[in-house]
């Protein structure tokens, strides 16, 4: 049973750096894509981007390249970084595993518990 | 980008009712659609993928149908634990897109 455990600073001031890490337990880290998704207060789900264990990344172009996702395969971990946060980045951030059920389609079958990040001066 | 539009945004129903939620895609996506359930303070949980394939462990009162641009999530005989927000997601093109959600409330 795969489990994703995430952590990182929850209260940031504007212009500080958001840094979150997600650790994968109970399943292989290799061979999967791993995503970050955020949910602003009272809003829907926004996909930020994904990383393969090999380091290949894809990002949501609507977020204008401000996020960086990295991976540490020996530790079974992947991370999210955002430099210079603003109040608009206040959200719950989730890490999630993408499960490919056919060659070209995947869904999120396992999620972290979520991390509330609040940006306030 | 593909856009997903869910309707209705809010739905009020009673325990035992049958309800349906629709997700319309701005362009054809075959059967590449998933449905998630989210309860307050928790991460979303997948219910169905491939438009109609039930995820392991999900009760059979949940079902999905549709292809192309119109999809439906149906819940028969609503249980108290089913009152939550439901999201659709398209599965095979970038960027990953979710519908805006349908909040199912107890009448």
Q: What is the per-residue pLDDT for A65?
A: 72
Q: What is the per-residue pLDDT for A21?
A: 98
Residue B85 has which token pair? 């927000």
The span from the first CA to the last CA of chain A, in angstroms, equals: 40
Residue A26 has which token pair? 């109970």
Q: Is the dihedral of CA A12, A69, A27, A29 positive or negative?
A: negative
Judging contacts by C-beta atoms under 8 Å, the chain A residues touching residue B53 are 101
Judging contacts by C-beta atoms under 8 Å, the chain B residues touching residue A64 are none
| Phi, psi angle pair for B82, to nearest 5° | -85, -10
Q: What's the gap in Å between the CA of B11 and the closest CA on chain A?
A: 16
Contact B99 A60 (CB under 8 A): no
Reported as a single tens digit per residue, the pLDDT across A43-96 is 899 999 999 999 999 999 999 778 999 999 999 999 999 999 999 999 999 999
Exposure pattern of A35-62 as b/e (b: 16+ CB <10 Å)? bbbbbeeeeebbbbbbbbbeeebbbbee
Judging contacts by C-beta atoms under 8 Å, the chain B residues touching residue A47 are 95-98
Percent of chain B with pLDDT over 90: 97
């Amino acid at each position: 049973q795969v489990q994703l455990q995430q952590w990182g600073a929850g209260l940031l001031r504007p212009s500080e750096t958001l840094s979150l890490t997600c650790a994968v337990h109970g399943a292989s880290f290799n061979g999967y894509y791993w995503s970050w998704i955020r949910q602003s207060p009272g809003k829907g789900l926004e996909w930020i981007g994904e990383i393969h264990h090999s380091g290949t990344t894809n990002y949501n172009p609507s977020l204008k390249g401000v996020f960086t996702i990295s991976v540490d395969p020996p530790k079974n971990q992947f991370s999210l970084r955002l430099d210079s946060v603003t109040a608009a980045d206040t959200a719950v951030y989730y890490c999630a595993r993408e499960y490919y059920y056919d060659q070209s389609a995947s869904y999120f079958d396992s999620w972290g518990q979520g991390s509330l990040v609040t940006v306030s001066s | 980008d593909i856009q997903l539009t869910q309707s209705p945004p809010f739905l009020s129903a009673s325990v035992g009712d049958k309800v349906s939620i629709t997700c319309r895609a701005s362009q054809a996506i075959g059967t590449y659609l998933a449905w998630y359930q989210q309860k307050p303070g928790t991460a979303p949980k997948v219910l169905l993928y491939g438009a109609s394939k039930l995820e392991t462990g999900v009760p059979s009162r949940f079902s999905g149908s549709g292809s192309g641009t119109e999809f439906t999530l149906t819940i028969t005989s609503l249980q108290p634990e089913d009152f939550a927000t439901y999201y659709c997601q398209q599965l095979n093109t970038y960027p990953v897109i979710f519908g805006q959600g349908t909040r199912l409330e107890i009448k």
